[in-house]
Amino acid sequence: MSKAIIFIFIIAFILLGDREFPAQSVTPARINLQIVTDEADAVLRILEKREISGEITEADWQNVFSSEGYRRLKKRELAMSRPFEDADFKTFVLSDELFARRRVLAATLASWKEIEAARPGTLALEYLPPSAVIRAKIYPVIKPKDNSFVFEIRENPAIFLYLDPKVTKEEFENTLAHELHHIGFGTACPSPTVAQESKRYSLPMQKVFKWTGAFGEGFAMLAAAGSADVHPHAASPAEDRARWEKDVANFNNDLKALEKFFLDLEGGALSVEKEIETARSFYGEEQGAWYTVGWQMAVVIEKTFGRAKLIEVFCDQRKLLPTFNRAVKIYNRQYKTRFASWSKELIGKLT
């Protein structure tokens, strides 16, 4: 998700001091979420000591390195075969660049802690089957790289969010709902029956189904917004909204580019390397065609056939594109639009 805005709160850093912020738990029947901030809290405590010329002790560093957020972050980086040494992290924490950002980081963390984790979880569940559940730990972290990611989705789901002062509480909530939708989707979709039936198709067609699953990025955009009538970047800066509107306006061309990819894939015309390269290109630098085309298809289907049908067909990739084709004929007449549809050639291979 795109992340941009500003957050300023000067006194918050001083007020953080020695206060403890335990994990926040939300446990409705289908939601079990924790926002765990121990890594960021420990780093900020060191920065505060540096500001008042206090002694930074070995115990202060152990508070960082023993924190759950740091230990899982390190585990993830090592699993990705990336170097992640405690000594290097110390250098990062003591850098002048991080020190200069200490107050705005503290203010941002204080704001993010005000999030009621149940709300983004509930938004996600509204666009998931009744069997879906959401459980995850959310780690706002202070780290050298500015990326955010999910980790150990199956065994112990985690969402790591780079503590970015440009991200408001509203954007944080939107991003969280998006990622939680992915997590919840994986607990219910596809159903065992659909998964088994999909194996009857040829291996190339199974690859097509796999990649149509990437339209889930657009589905998650809709879920995070909360409605087909809410702009998916309602909480974003004007430049992000403008970029999205420009990109989504290219729907027809992007649909045809994706169609070519699917047909080439089904026809065995792509090497594994080319398949991955092409699929990745549709993620875009910000939010590419998997997002924009997926979102527009989801909107068309929901507004035409309702949310229950939308959830059903996103959970069964065999039905998604044919259902969109039926919906878009009605939608174009009703809303005076000219959205393209998938070709008979491609639809014939899906049925």
Q: What is the C-alpha to C-alpha distance for residues 159 and 23, in angstroms, rounded to an integer? A: 14
Q: How confident is the model at residue 20 (pLDDT cuts 50, 70, 90)?
A: very low
In a domain, 263, yes or no: yes
> How many domains would you assign to the chain?
2
In a domain, 17, yes or no: yes
Which residues, other chains included, contact 92 with Cβ-Cβ below 8 Å and sequence gap of 6+? 98, 143, 144
Whether 251 has a pLDDT exceeding 90, the answer reads: yes
Same domain, 213 and 169: no
pLDDT, mean of residues 145-155: 87
Same domain, 152 and 225: no
Structure tokens of 100?
């200069």
* Max intra-chain CA distance, the chain: 71
pLDDT, mean of residues 267-279: 95
pLDDT, mean of residues 27-36: 82
In a domain, 5, yes or no: no
Same domain, 98 and 122: yes
Whether 192 has a pLDDT exceeding 70, the answer reads: yes
Cβ(198)–Cβ(190) below 8 Å: yes
Domain range for 154 is 12-188
Tell me the per-residue pLDDT of 2-18, one tens digit each, with 9 for 90 and over: 333 222 222 222 223 33
User: SS in 3 state form for 191-258?
Assistant: CHHHHHHHCCCCHHHHHHHHHHHHHHHHHHHHHHHCCCCCCCCCCCCHHHHHHHHHHHCCHHHHHHHH
In a domain, 281, yes or no: yes
In a domain, 168, yes or no: yes
Q: How confident is the model at residue 62 (pLDDT cuts 50, 70, 90)?
A: very high
Cβ(37)–Cβ(138) below 8 Å: no
In a domain, 2, yes or no: no
In a domain, 3, yes or no: no
Same domain, 248 and 176: no
* Nearest residue to 183 (alpha-carbon basis) of 211, 230, 146, 223: 223
- Residue showing tokens 């972290």: 141
In a domain, 4, yes or no: no
Q: What is the C-alpha to C-alpha distance for residues 292 and 255, in angstroms, rounded to an integer? A: 10
Tell me the per-residue pLDDT of 67-91, one tens digit each, with 9 for 90 and over: 999 999 999 999 989 999 999 999 9
